[in-house]
Amino acid sequence: MPNRETVWTLSPSRRRAIRAFAGLIAGSPLLKGQQDPFREHTRIPKLDELLTALEFEPVFHAKLPRQVYNYTAYGTDGEFTLRRNRQAFDWVDLLPGPTPAKPQTALNLFGTPLAYPILVSPTAAQVAIHPEGEVAMRQGATAASNTPMIVSNVASLPIEKIGAAAKGPFWFQLYPKEDPDINRETLERAQAAGCRAVVVTIDQQASAYERELHDRHLGPPTNRRTAREAAPRTPYRIREFRLFYDWKLFAEIRKLTKVPIIAKGILTAEDAKLCLENGLDGVYVSNHGGRSLDYGPSTLEVLPEIVDAVAGRCPVLFDSGVRRGTDILKALALGASAVCLGRIPRWGLGAYGAPGVQRILEIMQAELVQAMANTGQPSLAAINRSLVRTDFP
């Protein structure tokens, strides 16, 4: 048996006993000592509690590692254009009108029927934000009134698996390669999987992300660069794997496709006209969500001049900065045929999986209908520039 001195040494002192008891009390769920004093609560809300798309981002942020969240959140360089995309919507006023019966929102776009003028933009590496990645994104989008998803060329999962995940329509986004055989194989697989249109991205040649540089120590690399791409041969160490782009590409891509082709990344009237001259079926106004060229214009600012240049000869798609149904209506009023959502569906996917994607798209659809009703718009065809007053700097 231990001697009396040893027992006394190992026994808790009054101070230690009180400290242990205080820790027990502080950790009790019956008290609020562990609650964040700056928020009402710290629990993850139920899906049906979220009423706007913006409410999904904090849940998305809370659930994911910082470097994964930042991949979705960041813009290029100092993120001026990222901020400007959002600010531009504050420079457009909506004018109220008499409330009609339930507004009609259906349309047909490149042979794809849409219940609403909304698509899911192509975004990469979705398995990083949810284990089911693009499969869950497609399932959630399809569940939201068959919203078409534009599947990224750099998706986490094979196009065949994504295409078979749901019965709704989907499109495919292509980053052209110098090797025509790679383009041929990629486009053949996408079309065999059932894609109804091909979106060719032309605005992502040499971007740099300061936030990514700050995150480089937080975990393993999340990019997909090959050894050749990681060691640029150019004097300024710019990755050259997309610097070969020119308009001749579309003649080659046309030979490989049986579906409509749309150019994504158009920001000037001149380029919009070149799209038509090169036989493209549509123009997609985008600055890659502020991830392409910093200090470029916001997409909403340049949308009217591009619509004027196209002059009704082809549909005009639009993305970047959209967060509410009123934003969608503003873009439609300035001439967009449909609006694509990029970050918003990713918030839904990362926060709640496929049901989160469905919920966030349904919120945007409902907000669009409400905005159309409040401004007296009975149908998409009725929407025009008389609905808005702009004050761009």
- Residue 134 within a domain: yes
Question: What is residue 118's predicted lDDT score, i.e. its pLDDT?
Answer: 98
- Residue 35 within a domain: no
Domain region containing 97: 50-390
- Label residue 372 exposed, middle or buried (CB < 10 Å: 0-12, 13-18, 19+): buried
Question: What is residue 45's predicted lDDT score, i.e. its pLDDT?
Answer: 86
- Domain count of the chain? 1
Q: Closest by alpha carbon to 278, among 300, 257, 301, 247?
A: 247
- Residue 74 within a domain: yes
Question: What is residue 100's predicted lDDT score, i.e. its pLDDT?
Answer: 76
- Alpha helices by DSSP H, listed for 27-151, are 56-63, 66-73, 80-87, 133-143
Report the Cα–Cα distance between both ends of the chain, in Å, rounded.
86
CATH code, domain with 344: 3.20.20.70
Q: Closest by alpha carbon to 301, among 320, 315, 314, 323?
A: 320
- Residue 32 within a domain: no
Q: Is residue 130 a contact partner of residue 350, using CB atoms and an 8 Å limit?
A: yes
Q: Closest by alpha carbon to 321, among 304, 303, 298, 337?
A: 298
* Residue tagged active-site, from 41, 130, 214, 288: 288
Question: What is residue 178's predicted lDDT score, i.e. its pLDDT?
Answer: 86
Task: Calculate the CA 54 to chain-centre distance.
Answer: 13
- Residue 380 within a domain: yes
* pTM > 0.85: yes or no: no
Q: Closest by alpha carbon to 100, among 385, 388, 380?
A: 380
| Cα distances (Å, whole numbers) of residue 59 to 55, 139, 170 | 7, 20, 27
- Residue 106 within a domain: yes
Question: What is residue 242's predicted lDDT score, i.e. its pLDDT?
Answer: 54
Which two structure tokens, joined as six digits, stand for 246? 């020119």
Question: What is residue 208's predicted lDDT score, i.e. its pLDDT?
Answer: 60
To which residue do tokens 């930042």 refer? 70
Per-residue pLDDT tens, the chain, 393 aa: give them: 556 666 656 666 777 777 777 777 666 665 554 455 545 556 778 899 999 999 999 999 999 998 899 999 988 888 999 999 999 999 999 999 887 778 999 999 999 999 999 999 999 999 999 999 999 999 999 999 999 999 999 999 999 999 999 999 999 999 998 889 999 999 999 999 999 999 999 886 555 656 665 555 555 554 444 433 455 555 545 555 556 677 888 999 999 999 999 999 999 999 999 999 999 999 999 999 988 888 999 999 999 999 999 999 999 999 999 999 999 999 999 999 999 999 999 999 999 999 999 999 999 999 999 999 999 999 999 999 999 999 998
- Alpha helices by DSSP H, listed for the chain, are 4-10, 14-26, 56-63, 66-73, 80-87, 133-143, 159-163, 180-193, 210-214, 227-230, 249-256, 269-277, 299-310, 325-333, 343-352, 354-374
Question: What is residue 223's predicted lDDT score, i.e. its pLDDT?
Answer: 47
Give the Cα separation of 79 and 321 in Å (integer).
Answer: 12
Question: Which residues have C-beta within 8 Å of that of residue 288, sequence separation ≥ 6?
Answer: 201, 203, 204, 207, 265, 320
Residue 321, amino acid: G
- Residue 1 within a domain: no
- Residue 37 within a domain: no
| 151-196 confidence digits (pLDDT tens) | 999 999 999 999 999 999 999 999 998 889 999 999 999 999 999 9
Residue 222, amino acid: T
Question: What is residue 14's predicted lDDT score, i.e. its pLDDT?
Answer: 72
Q: Closest by alpha carbon to 57, among 331, 299, 356?
A: 356
Q: Is residue 306 a contact partner of residue 283, using CB atoms and an 8 Å limit?
A: yes
Q: Closest by alpha carbon to 325, among 367, 388, 293, 282?
A: 367
Q: Is 288 in the active site?
A: yes
